[in-house]
Chain A
Amino acid sequence: MPVSMFELAVAMSAVGALLSLDDNVLFRGMFAQPIVCGSILGLLFCDLRLGATVGAILQLLWLFDVPAGGFISIDYTSCTTISLALLLPLIQSGLTVKESLILGLPFFVLVGMLGGALSSHLTKRLRRFNEAIVQRAVRGIDNGKISSVWRNNTAALLPMFAKAFIVILASILAGRFVAFPLLRFFVKHCDVSVYGFWVAALPAAGIGIGLSALREHRGIVFAGVSMAAALIIMRINVLSAPLAAVLVLLSCLIVFLVWRRLSPNER
């Protein structure tokens, strides 16, 4: 049975909202991370590779936005879900995956970021609302209803889920109305097939952010060494892909061990 785009958007929003709970509310098992969220959505609704590609492009950007001490960053799970959900119709409209990624992804990430920012803002509001839920639990305990502890604690998940679901769905629908006419204009006037390097801009930004956030002594030097090693290994054309992958990982291990040897941890 063919599935309409609206039904697909609803289903993706539901799964995305469920995964977004993992970031601030429930379990905390990294299911909300862009690469995981993208891969799961890809596996369920389109293609694992496409989902993982979108997730990998976005993953490095938010590597160091951590929910420590109740901090709320832009809701990257919503951003990933929105970006992937908007990308699918573009691919189905006749563009290749590569062209869709190059042309559509920056647009969709921007839409996703707006949605993610709204979602984060609403999370802050809901945390204030949770104070009322705690008061209700206290009243329940006073009345001798011990079950009000788990009932209210579990009930607090519902508004969070509903918030994420509505924000993601609304952003997908709004994105389709706003971004698609603009993209049609771009498709007519640009030959996007040669500008693939732009897709690497987001991961490159993530690398810069990551190296800055880590603030490790000699971090840039050793990152540069491993970059050079990976670059050389990947450019040797005679190596098969699995062998090149093993060699890159091995080079990382060697660089790491050399670093430890040169400046061991302070005891």
Chain B
Amino acid sequence: MSDRPEATRIPKGTRTAVALRTFMLEACWNNRAKQNLGLCFAILPALKRLYSGEALKDAIKRHLSVFNTNPCFSGFIAGAIIQHEAAGQMDESQEKSRMERMKSMLGGTFGALGDDLMWFSLKPFLGTLAVLLFLLGNEWAFVWLVGIFSASSIVLRLRGVELGLKGGLAVQRHLNRIKFKRIAVALKRATCVLLGAVAGVLLSADRWSVAECNGLWFGAAMALPIIVLCFILRSRNVSSGKIGAGVCALVLIGVLLS
């Protein structure tokens, strides 16, 4: 049986609705089943197309089991689930256990990939770029951060639903073609370089009054130990919040003493 004709039963408007509804995937994030209600909410328009009456109720309840993934990549999984539902011809118990296995597998894969690419690579890169651009005089730098991240997130969700519908369980094949891992590594390296540039601009800019404090090297003497100290603290798994609070307290004590 070919999957494609079944998948095309879902019209374009419904596919777009599913992709856009994934933006509310985490609205009801709960400790027991994570994003289960959000997933049901996202794929509901498609389920309504495929089922009605009692069958629809059963289909919704099938998707109330544990589900967790990276929200930006949730479109792929939503598409694969819909394709699976559209092509599914098994009895209820078989269907439920297979669906849970599939959701768990895809959720884990896309979660790991999405977290690495979006949260640990793209977000820090754009955040650092926005700070650097701001320090260099661009007050609207935040628009870059929001614009690029939101655009990539929207494209991933829309395209993800389409690819999920086409690929079904084998949707991961499409990811192998795009070198996400390499992109993530490149973004992390670029973030390192940008962080260095931010440090350079901070040490030189008059805005931070380094120039007012008896020349450049006084400022550098203050900033560089803080960078090194925080590097060491973070390496020892001290949280950013605690480090930030400590630095604020140090600043206050410093201002008072000086």
Contacts and interface: CB of A to CB of B under 8 A. Distances in A.
Contact of A66 (B120, B235, B250): B120
A152 B150 contact: no
Interface string B18-45: 0000011011111111101110110010
Interface string A206-231: 11111111101001101111111111
B200 A228 contact: yes
Secondary structure dominating the interface of B: helix
A121 interface: no
Nearest to B204: A234
B209 interface: yes
Secondary structure dominating the interface of A: helix
B87 interface: no
Contact of B192 (A55, A61, A66, A223): A223
B23 A26 contact: yes
Contacts, number: 382
A137 B258 CA distance: 60
A190 B64 CA distance: 60
B34 A70 contact: yes
A153 B255 contact: no
B185 A127 contact: no
A210 B124 contact: yes
B189 A157 contact: no
B50 interface: no
Interface residues of B, number: 113
A141 interface: yes
Contact of A153 (B32, B38, B111, B193): B38
Interface of B: 23-24, 26-34, 36-38, 40-41, 44, 48, 56-57, 60-61, 64, 68, 70-72, 111, 115, 119-120, 123-124, 126-128, 130-142, 145-146, 149-150, 153, 181-182, 185-186, 188-205, 208-210, 212-213, 216, 218-219, 222-224, 226-235, 239-241, 243-245, 247-252, 254-256, 258
11 contacts: A53-B134, A69-B115, A113-B248, A130-B28, A200-B219, A201-B250, A209-B230, A213-B124, A216-B189, A222-B192, A226-B193
Interface of A: 24-31, 33, 35-36, 39-40, 48-49, 52-53, 55-56, 58-70, 73-74, 98, 102-103, 106-107, 109-110, 113, 116-117, 127-128, 130-131, 133-134, 137-138, 141-142, 144, 146, 149-150, 152-154, 156-157, 186, 190, 192, 194-214, 216, 219-220, 222-235, 241-242, 244-245, 248-249, 251-252, 255-256, 259-260, 265
